[in-house]
Every structure is written in structure tokens, then in C-alpha cells.
Amino acid sequence: MRRTWLLLLIGALSNVAYASEYYRWVDENGTVHFSDARPEISIEMTFDVDILTQPNSGNVAAPSSPATPPIPPIPEAPALATRVTLLSPTNDATIRNNQGMINIELSTDLPLGKNQKVRALVDGKSQPSQQSLQLALDNLDRGSHTIKVQLLQDGKVIATTSSVTVFLHRAIQRKAPPKGKPTPR
């Protein structure tokens, strides 16, 4: 019984695939409709369907090898950073740190390449270059400092941030006055 229903279902569905005329129309909303029933206003369209055949796998010949070996594609150079931006500290920032430490955060338009480094300039004096976008400046004196960061590629400066001025506050130890007899005035 199952096979009978299955055969009837396959036979009914196969007739839909053999419809020879199709119609297309666009309604007032701009929606395109396709159907095998002719609408009131219609444009007749014919489609030629090519039947694809597969060659017998036993008759496939191997392609002839070319006389010259193929040229391998040239690998593209990895994209390198070309801009650097100083995220923190901001201009006119006040930093309170008793060890004289200032943390610098940077961002670049692309990740740093293996031959790229960043270098901080504090009050015009160059600090050691690093390959990290987070720098730490240690043991700075209290007071105002001007910070600028350079992006280096093979030791050459390719980009520089704008200068920011920061104010470093450090607690100081005052020496107690010497103990002794106070002198009258």
C-alpha cells in the first residue's frame, strides 16, 4: 500500500516539472510573480533548458603537463600600522603616583608588524623603544612633563602623536627639624 501511494505522489509531482509555459508579471507594488497560468496581461517568455551530460569516467584523459612549471603567486606583504594615537594620558591630566610612574596607552590603525616599534619622548628625551602598545615610564620627577610617542619602522619614524602635557604629583618626605634646645628670640 505504501508503495502505491509513493508512486502516485511521485507521478503527480513529476507533471509539475514538465510544464512548458511560464509567465511572469509585476503587480502595482513592484513585486515580480512567476506562474504557469496565464495572467490577464502577460508577456510570453521561452526558456531553453540545456541537458547536461557527464562523460564516462573511463574515457577521461589526463591533462598534459605544461612545458614550464606554474609561477607561484607572490605573497602579499602584511599590512603594517601607519598611524599611532595616544589614548592615555590625556592632555593636561593630573597623575598622582609616588613612584613617579606614568602608564601610556596607544592605538594604531593596524597591528604592529614585526619590524615596527613605538618610542616615547618625555620632555624631548627618547625612551627605549618597545613593540607593545602599552608603555610604562618609571621614576619621573614631580612636575609637568610633555609626552609624545613615535611609531618606528626599521628604526625610522613613520608617525608621531601630538604632544600632551601631564602633571605628576608625588608625595615628598620632609625632614623633621633637628632636635635640640629651642633658642629664644
Domain residues for 89?
Answer: 84-169
Q: Given a cut of 70, is residue 19 above it in pLDDT?
A: no
- What is the Rg, in whole angstroms, of the alpha carbon atoms belonging to the chain? 39
Let me know whether 37 and 88 are in one domain. Answer: no
| In-domain check, residue 177 | no
| In-domain check, residue 100 | yes
Let me know whether 98 and 164 are in one domain. Answer: yes
Confidence band of 16 (pLDDT split at 50, 70, 90): low
Let me know whether 91 and 33 are in one domain. Answer: no
Let me know whether 104 and 164 are in one domain. Answer: yes
- For 117-127, the pLDDT digits (tens) are 999 999 999 99
- For 131-146, the pLDDT digits (tens) are 999 999 998 999 999 9
- For 42-74, the pLDDT digits (tens) are 656 666 767 777 666 666 566 666 667 777 777
Cut 0.85: pTM above it? no
Domain containing residue 139: CATH number = 2.60.40.10
Q: Give me the percent of the chain exceeding a pLDDT of 70.
A: 77
Query: What average pLDDT does the segment 12-17 reach?
Result: 60
Q: How many domains does the chain have?
A: 2
- For 174-185, the pLDDT digits (tens) are 777 777 777 777
Write down the pLDDT at residue 134: 93
| In-domain check, residue 61 | no
| In-domain check, residue 182 | no
Bridge partner list, 96:
169
